[in-house]
Amino acid sequence: MTENDNDAKAIDAEDVRQYSENYNTGDAARANHVAANAAVKNGVIKAATSYEGTRELTHDFSIELKQGTITDQQRSGRCWMFASLNTLRYELMHRWKLEDFEFSETYLFFWDKFEKSNTYLENVLNTLDEPTDSRTFEAINAYPADDGGWWQMFVNLVNKYGLVPKSAYPESQNSKDSDAFTQYLTTKLHQFTIQLREHHRNGKSIDELRTFKKRYMEDIYRICAIALGEPPAKFDWRARVKDGDDDKSSDDKDTKAAKKNATSNASTKKSEAKAEKSEGEPGIDERKQIVEHDITPLEFYHKYVPVDVNDFVTLCNNPMKNRPFYTHFQLKYSTNVAETGNLDFTNVPIKVLRKAAVDQVKAGHPIWFACDCMQYCLRDGGYFSKNAVRVDELFGTDFSIDKANGLEYSDYPSNHAMTITGVNLDENGEPNRWKIENSWGKSTGTDGYYVADGEWFDQFVTEVIIRKEFLDDKTLKATQADPVVLDPWEALTARCD
């Protein structure tokens, strides 16, 4: 039997003739030609943009959180890291009354690459007898040190390495555009894997193999340090505290703590500074300052970040039949730091996920979330909405797939993480649009912010990170149950990059 001996039927010339005739005749011909003119000239998304849909989806929200300057991951897959740090910087800024603040994303990027490399080699050591074409080994070997990740990977890094402000470890060319760095790091890791498996076939013990691995990691450290620069073990930090007391998110205790940790840089009295201004000299900024010398990243995290990254849980909404709700899942080979546990997710109905998200924003806390950002997205205007991107009208056909089938057939994979910083509630208290802080810079969306309607949120958001205090009893109990362990290709959501 040859490969062509089957029942497949090819398209023939008569089929094509009939399709063309139907396209060019009848009532649909005019609409097809107008749509083609628009799409060929402007591209599908612009041609499908509905002015009515964008008008209805205003950038106004009943609840908004005041965030810092928009961030930009540039040509890297660090969205999950940016979104995570954006949730924490909001808390830091409002606790310590800072006008603006940004953590160093490159600092965690360094340690993520380093730790993923070690975890990958450990996974290789744990699967030495797996065939290279087995599904398990292919899953382990596919992306040994890619940019993508989840919130819990961020938690692992913060717990081990702490955090630093961007001033202490700024961006490098290889953090802003990571392809070449990741490519050669991956090649080196694959080279080490070949060597480890050869040593195993030659009878080396696991202890001997780990000795090799330890030497290999010195090369990995050098590659990371050359590409990104060595991360600081200690650093100095200075920040100015806002004037006034208009930040309602900071209580009296927080304000007193901020003042206690602040020192004044003023060398003159206010009257003298005022006199300098009247004489045309630059005035002295007399706002209080927070000053730190030789502080470690872990000390900085514990001292200045007013939330514990371990007090959050991962809620998913995956309505596939083989992913029952109120079930706690754990994913094999998913961690980025070898000594930590594998990543876990609790699957809940969308109404539960949605309510937890609303409650958290109403309480004044932003939310990390994962979604398929490619679906019905207008990057220029900053819209996520089926009513704004009318591809059904452009092509004259329906594109609806329910969420369960979209996930099962890989049409709605989570591929991007962002931060929710606002919500609009209708007259019944239900969310009809969400304010989203992206990490694509200020040139996209409305100064870097997007708006998603309620339907889009329900269908394309797969994962949110929620503080435990905003979980109902049933959901909290589910997060504490023994997990159902999944193989690496069975993830409820995909890594975000």
Is the residue at 375 inside a domain? yes
Residue 255 has pLDDT above 50, yes or no: no
pTM to 2 decimal places: 0.91
Q: Residue 54: pLDDT band by 50, 70, 90 thresholds?
A: very high
Residue 492 has pLDDT above 90, yes or no: no
Is the residue at 295 inside a domain? no
Is the residue at 302 inside a domain? no
Cβ burial, residue 445 (10 Å; 0-12/13-18/19+): buried
Is the residue at 181 inside a domain? yes
What pLDDT was estimated at residue 261?
Answer: 47
Nearest to 417 by CA among 436, 389, 431, 403: 436
8 A C-beta contact, residue 356 and residue 313: no
What residues are annotated to the active site? Answer: 79, 416, 438
Nearest to 362 by CA among 64, 59, 85, 88: 64
Indicate the pairing of strand 461-467 with strand 367-371. antiparallel
Where is average pLDDT lowest: 1-15, 446-460, 468-482? 1-15
What count of other Cβ atoms lies within 10 Å of the Cβ of residue 76? Answer: 24
Residue 272 has pLDDT above 80, yes or no: no
Spatial distance between the Cα atoms of 110 and 398, rounded to a whole number of angstroms: 45
Show Cβ contacts of residue 326 under 8 Å, excluding neighbours closer than 6 positions.
Answer: 346, 347, 348, 474, 475, 478
What pLDDT was estimated at residue 495?
Answer: 82
What total number of domains does the chain contain? 1
What pLDDT was estimated at residue 4?
Answer: 61
Place of tokens 């992913």: 323
Spatial distance between the Cα atoms of 289 and 238, rounded to a whole number of angstroms: 7
pLDDT digits over 440-451, tens only? 999 999 999 999
Is the residue at 347 inside a domain? yes
pLDDT digits over 320-375, tens only? 999 999 999 999 999 999 999 999 999 999 999 999 999 999 999 999 999 999 99
CA distances from 89 to 86, 104, 163, 366 (A): 5, 11, 11, 10
What pLDDT was estimated at residue 243?
Answer: 82
Residue 469 backbone class (left: φ over 0; alpha: ψ -120 to 50; beta: rest): alpha
Spatial distance between the Cα atoms of 490 and 495, rounded to a whole number of angstroms: 12
Nearest to 471 by CA among 370, 327, 364, 352: 352
What pLDDT was estimated at residue 123?
Answer: 98
DSSP lists the bridge partners of residue 434 as 423, 452
Where is average pLDDT lowest: 56-70, 207-221, 222-236, 247-261? 247-261
DSSP lists the bridge partners of residue 327 as 347
Residue 145 has pLDDT above 90, yes or no: yes
Is the residue at 67 inside a domain? yes
pLDDT, mean of residues 392-418: 95
Could you list the residue range(s) of the whole structural domain that residue 71 is in?
A: 63-232+308-490
Spatial distance between the Cα atoms of 309 and 300, rounded to a whole number of angstroms: 14
Is the residue at 300 inside a domain? no
Is the residue at 457 inside a domain? yes
Q: Element (H or E) spanning 389, and its range?
A: none
pLDDT digits over 372-401, tens only? 999 999 999 999 999 999 999 999 999 999
CATH code: domain of residue 327: 3.90.70.10
